[in-house]
Amino acid sequence: MSNKQVATFGGGCFWCTEGAFKQLIGVESVVSGYAGGHVSEPTYEQVCGGDTGHAEVVQINFDDNLISYRELLEVLFAIHDPTELNRQGNDIGPQYRSVIFYHNPEQLEQAEKILKEMSADQLFEKPIVTEITAINNWYPAELHHENYFERNPEQPYCAAVIAPKLAKFRATFAAKLKS
């Protein structure tokens, strides 16, 4: 019997995070979108302006019997730098912030626990700046953003930034990937 759950994470450009999460066993769908802002139905251009309050996020539908929320959190922290405030590499602005939007008290507890563990273990040289906040809104991105890397692997950003990140991801999480 399946145990369907939803997770929403921001870890920089949603093209990068979508490409990683959709490869995991137990992940049923990954949709790029926007969350955490104060503008209804924001567009990509509005969010890129940096003043809507939204982050670029992925919303992940997963079967908790096949992959746990904790495992998804571990992937999130492996594919982005949680110590960069309002940026990931050359992508700069609050829309690229590191953020966990929790959907229930159990997700909040697990997110707080993993941040505490990573800080105690000093896994990063700089302090972790990842926000943990309740999901208050979520809007799917425009359709041309969905499966972006898959459809545009030769696009310069995809080739230079996403492809190497996904190669490292596949090597690290090989046992958890769909065949």
**Catalytic-labelled residue, pool 13, 16, 48, 158:** 13
**Are the C-beta atoms of 73 and 111 separated by less than 8 Å?**
yes
Residue 13 appears among annotated catalytic residues: yes
Give the active site residues. Answer: 13
